[in-house]
Structure 1
Amino acid sequence: MKQCIKVWTEVFFLQDSVAKPHVIVAGAATWSIKIHNGSNEALSQYKMNITSIAPLLEKLAKTSDVYWVLQDPVYEDLLSENRKMITNEKIDAYNEAAVSILNSSTRNSKSNVKMFSVSKLIAQETIMESLDGLHLPESSRETSAMILMNVYCNKILKPVDGSCCQPQPPLTLIQKLAACFFTLSIIGYLIFYIIHRNTHRKNKSCTDLESGEEKKNIINPPVSPLEILLQSFCKLGLIMAYFYMCDRANLFMKENKFYTHSTFFIPIIYILVLGVFYNENTKETKVLNREQTDEWKGWMQLVILIYHISGASTFLPVYMHIRVLVAAYLFQTGYGHFSYFWIKGDFGIHRVCQVLFRLNFLVVVLCIVMDRPYQFYYFVPLVTVWFMVIYVTLALWPQIIQKKANGNCFWHFGLLLKLAALLLCICFLAYSQGAFEKIFSLWPFSKCFELKGNVYEWWFRWRLDRYVVFHGMLFAFIYLALQKRQILSEGKGEPLFSNKVSNFLLFISVVSFLTYSIWASSCKNKAECNELHPSVSVVQILAFILIRNIPGYARSVYSSFFAWFGRISLELFICQYHIWLAADTRGILVLIPGNPMLNIIVSTFIFVCVAHEISQITNDLAQIIIPKDNSSLLKRLACIAAFFCGLLILSSIQDKSRH
């Protein structure tokens, strides 16, 4: 063995890359025990031999993957007489000697020789199946070989699932700068907190001399924006460290998803029972009031989370219904933003910046910390682009809002012309992939919408729900027009229309809802379903809205359980990528190995708490970073633009260095 390894090290210095192996798997002990009848002198000689080859192995490990295989245990009861000296006690002594010598072969750094101990663990479970007590069954050897191949091949193939043995990616320059920023934020907040606490103590000691109101102001001084800023970035830094440890640092295990009907449908039954249990009266009884939309977002998000963790995308009927839930989010985007601009008429830059900040803040931070492209979090680019489309459509001359229209059919017709023009643009881009790709391949759009060097994925995602935002805008316009003319009855407990009309619409809605479900369940393949989905998804969405809102009693109550999750639905959707799922959503994070139920409870609790905290941080930072004063806002926008320009330059440098 020593002579063979010596030849390979010399081959390296002669730069003969053909002759030198890429992977060396070595091990010894069992034959030494057998030949020398388990004597102590043999163990001493074994230690000397290992000591003599350790430097050579270490030298070889600098250019090749070197694994020292620990000796497997034996099943002593089955051993033949001429093998009785091979005991597990002797094997453990030889393994300990090899580990201690090879690990201490380098004084100043960790040994490059890897200990392959997993085969020993496998053998402990399977040695009872051995035919002679010494040789392992074929299945054990196959498992060990598969793990060895994973260790080597995963570095090259980089599989996008929950496979083990994926090496930790090196930190990029942007990640290092982000780590420095968050570290400084944590230190800054601690310093600020210590100074603030000492000042507070001094002020408190003087309160006996103050009057009641003055005393109250000194004891509870207002929180400064600087403190909120430092505190927010401090908490965010700790949260981002957790994100990195979960899905980049190889600190926690990951496992693959395996879909069964029970893993998807049983949790859904649980959350539905909880949702129905926490019923409360709504503050208002209008169609799609705030509590109701929060509830809608909440239960949809919980269903989508269960869909992702159970791997239910392999079951086509479930996949098609989840596609409707994603479309429903975009429908709400069209409905909500159109309603705001139509009623408020607020096209100011402050509103735009507030929405863009709340949508994109977490994703931008994750792109930096987790070294992922913006398009990787596809839903956020989708809702961001659609918000800008709605804004531009309504803000362009002539600006038509409810106050200006005021029942005038001419202005209503003008708005419908705008919506018709938008629909034509959507149809043109949907059926002209070349034009779409040219637009979004231009710099700097390409940096935001490219994935793996092209914008096809973005085109596919956008095209899949291309009409539903338009449907949401059109529904909002029709609903607000009917509301303005007092055609709807939105009082507490009242049906939305007359009894006959309400019953007829409810019947049509239920039939439409069930018809869509039957069609989705009978689809032959995803490609066929996806082609029809953009045109027909609105049927089930509108059916649900009517079923939920036509009866007055249904419109007057909501589930506070679902509404709570709905208020943090965006954060839940984004955070799941790294701290609930793993391997970029392809696997499942394992915080507690060996106990799947406890693991899912603990990881889910942490995941929900983190999402809620990030939502609060985003709201706090939005108030500070996006001020209402336009002059201050423009200055900060200039700083943000400079930041992104720097980020793009660093990203370009980073890409060139990778290539």
Structure 2
Amino acid sequence: CLMLKQKALLDSRLYLRAAVEFGSIMLWFYLVDRTTFFTYGTKSYSRDVLTFIFVTLTAVAAWKSMRKYKAPDMLNRWQTEEWKGWMQVLFLLYHYFNAREIYNAIRVFIAGYVWMTGYGNFMYYYHYKDFCLGRFMQMMWRLNFLVTVVCIVLRNSYMLYYICPMHTIFTIFVYATLGLGQKYNATNTGILVKIGLCVLLIYVCWDIKAVFYAIWSPFMFLVGYNDPRKPTDDLLHEWHFRSSLDRYVWIHGMLCAFLKPWAEGFLQRVDSLAFRARVAARTAVIGCTLVVLALWYEHVYKLPKVEYNKLHPYTSWIPISVWIVLRNMTPALRTYSMGIYGWLGTITLETYISQFHTWLTTGIPDGQPKMLLSFLPPEDYPLINFALATAVYVLVSHRLFTLTGTLKTAVVPNKAGRELVRNVILIAVCGSFLWLLSLVIIGAGGWGAGPAVASSTLLDASSTRQLL
């Protein structure tokens, strides 16, 4: 393709079209978030509207998109995708409406995503024993390609999208846990020792702040962040705060994946009991589970934000475990899931990144998303703007998911080899050239801050707090 040979171009039409469409979406992000082409509204919280939207979507999903899995497997793929989907909807509505009163719930949802990083990766590596570099690089591409391009196009820091570095580092940890000393994966003792060593590693590297800063200071260019609306001298504070909140829950995800065969065996034994014994067993399990949930809710969840954050790293596994037990208690619950939420669950990474630049807007490099994209006067048509912006936003996110997968096929082969090395070198060379060219263009054009800085004048004093 680089030599513009006709046959090569024809053979690569799918990938070239994907690259052009991907670039067009990046241009859309720039138009929305770095210019004053559109109008922008301010956030306004309404518990009634947020609840109505979520309840209505859930009712439609349950009515129109219920699907049956092939077998009543615990935590099957459709179920976990559905789980990610409904959590993502609430997470996004929290951002759109600035629903600060559900902050603690959002923290639990984010912990749920990180839990699934530990669970899903452990399940794959433990059962398939596929530690080839090609598959690992495909995962890194999935997690980081989109966010890398967005950071370059909009001159944002990687840490603005903190979910991406969090999932990346914890994915690497799971890969290393099972990839190193693979012979020990064959015994239960070996796995449990590895999990225990993970807990010790996290304690030393995260709970001892001096060690954390010593480890991550050389990577300041990746995980450093300074909110331009709320400057700080401690550029690692954001990374320490975000990653510390969920530093242990991915290990719980690995433990649950390891114990899954025993849990499934227990559920099967309960399912095979006589009717009365089965009802009694399920009632006992559900009752104990609800008692645990009530205690957590009363003594942890109801705490104010700052106090809650102190306990969250050590308690987030409780509501996650409760949800898993309740969601998988009967064969019907394990078999059925809502397709709409499952579909949304497959594009959570894209909806997370895209929300900053085509649903909400940041206005300036490294800015938090403070404003709402509006196609009509925002004061007069807030709900119509919400509907229009959401339609565009979901479409863009879905296309980015598809395009990222298409480009991954072209760039990252399944197996490590000469083709993978060649592609890595080409990406590094071409990327460096384009990055240097962009610096020259920016310097010559005086595009330092971007024209959208003017939109920041719409922010009042109360809206300059960082969105958590």
State the TM bucket, normalised to the shorter chain: 0.7 to 0.9
CA shift digits 1:457-499 (9 cap, x unpaired): 001100011111011001111113555xx4441999999x955
Instruction: Read off the aligned partner of 1:450 and give its amino acid letter.
Output: G
Check the 8 A contact 2:72/2:332 in 1, yes or no: no
Instruction: Read off the aligned partner of 2:126 and give its amino acid letter.
Output: W
Instruction: Work out the CA distance in 2 between the residues paired with 1:647 and 1:576.
Output: 26
> Which residue number in structure 2 is paired with residue 509 of structure 1?
289
> Which residue number in structure 2 is paired with residue 639 of structure 1?
426
Q: Following TM superposition, by how much is the alpha carbon of 1:285 offset from its aligned partner in structure 2, in angstroms?
A: 1.7
Instruction: Work out the CA distance in 1 between the residues paired with 2:435 and 2:189.
Output: 43
Instruction: Read off the aligned partner of 1:489 and give its amino acid letter.
Output: Q
> Which residue number in structure 2 is paired with residue 247 of structure 1?
33
> Which residue number in structure 2 is paired with residue 433 of structure 1?
209
Larger-gyration structure (1/2): 1
> Which residue number in structure 2 is paired with residue 300 of structure 1?
87
Instruction: Work out the CA distance in 2 between the residues paired with 1:276 and 1:490.
Output: 29
Instruction: Work out the CA distance in 2 between the residues paired with 1:493 and 1:230.
Output: 55
2:397 is matched with which residue: 589, 611, 636? 611
Instruction: Work out the CA distance in 1 between the residues paired with 2:17 and 2:239.
Output: 36
CA shift digits 1:290-348 (9 cap, x unpaired): 110111111111111111101012x2xx1101110110011111100000000000010
Check the 8 A contact 2:42/2:372 in 1, yes or no: yes
Instruction: Work out the CA distance in 2 between the residues paired with 1:607 and 1:265.
Output: 20
Check the 8 A contact 1:374/1:448 in 2, yes or no: yes
Check the 8 A contact 1:493/1:553 in 2, yes or no: no
Check the 8 A contact 2:138/2:414 in 1, yes or no: no
Q: Structure 1 residues 555, 433: closer, same or farther in 2, change over 3 A?
A: same
Provide the secondary structure at the position in 1 that maps to 2:44.
coil
1:536 is matched with which residue: 315, 340, 360? 315
CA shift digits 1:604-633 (9 cap, x unpaired): 111101111111001111111111342211
Instruction: Work out the CA distance in 2 between the residues paired with 1:399 and 1:257.
Output: 54
Q: Structure 1 residues 228, 269: closer, same or farther in 2, change over 3 A?
A: same
2:163 is matched with which residue: 379, 404, 411? 379
| Pair 1:478-2:262 in alignment | no
Q: TM-score, normalised by structure 2?
A: 0.84
Check the 8 A contact 2:267/2:329 in 1, yes or no: no
1:389 is matched with which residue: 156, 164, 173? 173
Instruction: Work out the CA distance in 1 between the residues paired with 2:434 and 2:213.
Output: 23
> Which residue number in structure 1 is paired with residue 412 of structure 2?
626
Instruction: Read off the aligned partner of 1:393 and give its amino acid letter.
Output: T
Q: Following TM superposition, by how much is the alpha carbon of 1:517 offset from its aligned partner in structure 2, in angstroms?
A: 3.3
Instruction: Work out the CA distance in 1 between the residues paired with 2:263 and 2:181.
Output: 25
Q: Structure 1 residues 351, 247: closer, same or farther in 2, change over 3 A?
A: same
Provide the secondary structure at the position in 1 that maps to 2:316.
helix
Q: 1:12-91 alignment to 2 at 5 Å?
A: none
Provide the secondary structure at the position in 1 that maps to 2:405.
helix
Instruction: Work out the CA distance in 2 between the residues paired with 1:342 and 1:312.
Output: 39
Instruction: Read off the aligned partner of 1:567 and give its amino acid letter.
Output: T
Instruction: Read off the aligned partner of 1:449 and give its amino acid letter.
Output: V
Instruction: Work out the CA distance in 2 between the residues paired with 1:578 and 1:353.
Output: 27
Provide the secondary structure at the position in 2 that maps to 1:441.
helix
Provide the secondary structure at the position in 2 that maps to 1:588.
strand
Note the aligned Cα RMSD (angstroms).
Answer: 3.0
CA shift digits 1:619-658 (9 cap, x unpaired): 1111111113422112212333445666887899999x97
> Which residue number in structure 1 is paired with residue 221 of structure 2?
447
Percent of aligned pairs sharing the same letter: 30
| Pair 1:558-2:323 in alignment | no
Check the 8 A contact 1:579/1:607 in 2, yes or no: yes
Q: 1:122-141 alignment to 2 at 5 Å?
A: none
Q: Structure 1 residues 539, 581: closer, same or farther in 2, change over 3 A?
A: same
Q: Following TM superposition, by how much is the alpha carbon of 1:257 offset from its aligned partner in structure 2, in angstroms?
A: 1.2
Instruction: Read off the aligned partner of 2:420 and give its amino acid letter.
Output: L
> Which residue number in structure 2 is paired with residue 465 of structure 1?
246
> Which residue number in structure 2 is paired with residue 123 of structure 1?
none
Check the 8 A contact 1:581/1:589 in 2, yes or no: yes
Q: 1:564-583 alignment to 2 at 5 Å?
A: 564-583=343-362
Instruction: Work out the CA distance in 2 between the residues paired with 1:644 and 1:237.
Output: 14
> Which residue number in structure 1 is paired with residue 22 of structure 2?
236
Q: Is there any run of 5+ residues in structure 2 with no aligned partner, and where?
A: 227-232, 363-367, 450-468
Provide the secondary structure at the position in 1 that maps to 2:268.
coil
Instruction: Read off the aligned partner of 2:423 and give its amino acid letter.
Output: R
> Which residue number in structure 1 is paired with residue 460 of structure 2?
none
Q: Following TM superposition, by how much is the alpha carbon of 1:238 offset from its aligned partner in structure 2, in angstroms?
A: 1.3
Deviates more, 1:381-390 or 1:269-278: 269-278
Provide the secondary structure at the position in 1 that maps to 2:12.
helix
Instruction: Work out the CA distance in 2 between the residues paired with 1:269 and 1:518.
Output: 25
Q: Structure 1 residues 260, 479: closer, same or farther in 2, change over 3 A?
A: same
> Which residue number in structure 2 is paired with residue 199 of structure 1?
none
Check the 8 A contact 1:330/1:468 in 2, yes or no: yes
Q: 1:30-429 alignment to 2 at 5 Å?
A: 225-277=11-63, 278-313=65-100, 315=101, 318-401=102-185, 405=186, 411-429=187-205
Aligned pair count? 426
Check the 8 A contact 1:297/1:563 in 2, yes or no: yes
Instruction: Read off the aligned partner of 1:451 and give its amino acid letter.
Output: Y
Q: Structure 1 residues 268, 343: closer, same or farther in 2, change over 3 A?
A: same
Instruction: Work out the CA distance in 2 between the residues paired with 1:631 and 1:508.
Output: 56
Instruction: Work out the CA distance in 1 between the residues paired with 2:317 and 2:249.
Output: 7
CA shift digits 1:147-201 (9 cap, x unpaired): xxxxxxxxxxxxxxxxxxxxxxxxxxxxxxxxxxxxxx9xx9xx99xx89xxxxx
Check the 8 A contact 2:225/2:236 in 1, yes or no: yes
Check the 8 A contact 2:359/2:373 in 1, yes or no: yes
Please state which structure has a larger fraction of its residues in helix.
2
Provide the secondary structure at the position in 2 that maps to 1:542.
helix
Instruction: Read off the aligned partner of 2:284 and give its amino acid letter.
Output: F
Structure scoring higher RCO (CA < 8 A, sep ≥ 6) equals: 2
Check the 8 A contact 1:386/1:469 in 2, yes or no: yes
Instruction: Read off the aligned partner of 2:141 and give its amino acid letter.
Output: F
Instruction: Work out the CA distance in 2 between the residues paired with 1:645 and 1:233.
Output: 18
Q: Following TM superposition, by how much is the alpha carbon of 1:400 offset from its aligned partner in structure 2, in angstroms?
A: 3.8
Q: Following TM superposition, by how much is the alpha carbon of 1:597 offset from its aligned partner in structure 2, in angstroms?
A: 1.8
Instruction: Work out the CA distance in 2 between the residues paired with 1:438 and 1:572.
Output: 33
Instruction: Work out the CA distance in 2 between the residues paired with 1:578 and 1:311.
Output: 16
Q: TM-score, normalised by structure 1?
A: 0.60
Instruction: Read off the aligned partner of 2:421 and give its amino acid letter.
Output: L
> Which residue number in structure 2 is paired with residue 527 of structure 1?
306
Q: Structure 1 residues 648, 449: closer, same or farther in 2, change over 3 A?
A: farther
Instruction: Read off the aligned partner of 1:573 and give its amino acid letter.
Output: Y
